[in-house]
């Protein structure tokens, strides 16, 4: 903790941020991929967790396909490392300019239609591509956006991340204790984004099917929509071959009768999130311990064609 709060570390991060800012985007992407491959080769950064999650969640892939997916995933994580360094660039306005240059958003008309209902908008998203850039693309496009997240330590790091997000128009509701901020945003007709792809222990999480198994999943969105009348849309993104984060906002999700049952509502949203992961599995956060307390079924023989992006 002393190291984390020390000025030498803050200086080092600022220097790395400046170095990242000086790199052409193509070089940044190349170096990031190389860093990720090196980390995987050396067994760093939860590679066993990621490999096991891929093996269990995608049993239809062959061993060679799973290995290639793991390699591409670590190339993605290496690129994320360089992208995160831009948070630390001590040049005023740099992060917002970086996000504007390297992100595009589609589906703003879906957001506007949902907002027009006047009850606020709940956004269901996930850790796909670079989620920070996805949020920034919405904020820079004029969406009044609050993301539900946790405070990080030490305090100086939390303050820095908060300032950088605010520079792109993105606010944060900190969990636990996020509900007052969420409700204020919805009453103003703004958008509140939840990350629905991570493990959520009870009572915040309910067991629903995700990649074929029952696992605790964040269940806040359905009950909030029922309570407030807020519209639900989804958001996803991926980084294309040119390094541009492509963010997409869906039309309103009509849960119908499922809105009356938190489990059914959570299941419907989990299915959407899983579909988004399957479109770009190489850019999801496989190293997260998503499948806690899960009883996995027997594994079928490998087959082809169940996921995209390989």
pLDDT at 64: 98
Residues 108 and 65 in one domain: no
Residues 116 and 242 in one domain: yes
Which segments of the chain have a pLDDT < 50? 1-4, 303-305
Residue 289 falls inside a structural domain: no
pTM greater than 0.85 = yes
Residue 98 falls inside a structural domain: no
List phi, psi (to 5°) of 47. Answer: -65, -35
Residues 19 and 139 in one domain: no
Pick the last residue of a domain from 65, 91, 117.
91
The number of beta carbons lying within 10 Å of the beta carbon of residue 286 is: 26
The alpha carbons of the chain give a radius of gyration, in whole angstroms, of 19
Instruction: List, for residues 57-103, the tens digit of each pLDDT value.
Output: 999 999 999 999 999 999 999 999 999 999 999 999 999 999 999 99
Residues 117 and 259 in one domain: yes
Residues 117 and 153 in one domain: yes
Residue 175 falls inside a structural domain: yes
pLDDT at 3: 46
Residues 133 and 185 in one domain: yes
Domain housing 60: 7-91
pLDDT at 274: 98
The number of beta carbons lying within 10 Å of the beta carbon of residue 36 is: 24
Residues 109 and 252 in one domain: yes
Alpha-carbon gap, residue 198 to 75, rounded angstroms = 21
Residue 296 falls inside a structural domain: no
Residues 82 and 149 in one domain: no
Residues 189 and 275 in one domain: yes
Question: Could you give the number of structural domains in the chain?
Answer: 2
């Amino acid at each position: 903790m002393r190291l984390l709060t020390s000025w030498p570390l803050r200086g080092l991060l600022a220097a790395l941020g400046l170095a990242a800012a000086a790199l052409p985007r193509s070089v940044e992407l190349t170096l990031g991929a190389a860093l990720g491959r090196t980390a995987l080769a050396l067994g760093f950064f939860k590679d066993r967790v990621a490999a096991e999650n891929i093996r269990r969640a995608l049993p239809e892939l062959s061993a060679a396909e799973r290995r290639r997916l793991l390699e591409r995933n670590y190339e993605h994580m290496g690129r994320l490392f360089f992208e995160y360094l831009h948070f630390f660039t001590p040049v005023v306005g740099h992060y917002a300019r970086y996000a504007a240059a390297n992100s595009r958003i589609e589906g703003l008309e879906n957001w506007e239609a949902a907002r027009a209902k006047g009850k606020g908008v709940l956004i269901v998203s996930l850790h796909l591509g670079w989620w920070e850039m996805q949020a920034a693309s919405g904020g820079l496009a004029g969406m009044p956006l609050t993301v539900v997240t946790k405070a990080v330590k030490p305090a100086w790091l939390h303050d820095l991340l908060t300032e950088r997000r605010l520079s792109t128009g993105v606010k944060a509701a900190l969990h636990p204790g996020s509900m007052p901020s969420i409700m204020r945003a919805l009453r103003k007709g703004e958008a509140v984004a939840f990350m629905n792809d991570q493990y959520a222990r009870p009572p915040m999480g309910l067991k629903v099917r995700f990649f074929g198994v029952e696992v605790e999943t964040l269940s806040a969105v359905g009950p909030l929509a029922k309570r407030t009348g807020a519209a639900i849309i989804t958001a996803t993104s991926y980084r294309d071959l040119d390094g541009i984060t492509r963010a997409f906002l869906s039309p309103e999700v009509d849960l119908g009768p499922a809105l009356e049952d938190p489990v059914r509502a959570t299941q419907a949203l989990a299915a959407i999130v899983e579909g988004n992961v399957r479109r770009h599995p190489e850019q999801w956060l496989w190293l997260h311990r998503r499948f806690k307390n899960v009883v996995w079924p027997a594994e079928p023989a490998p087959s082809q064609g169940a996921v995209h992006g390989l």
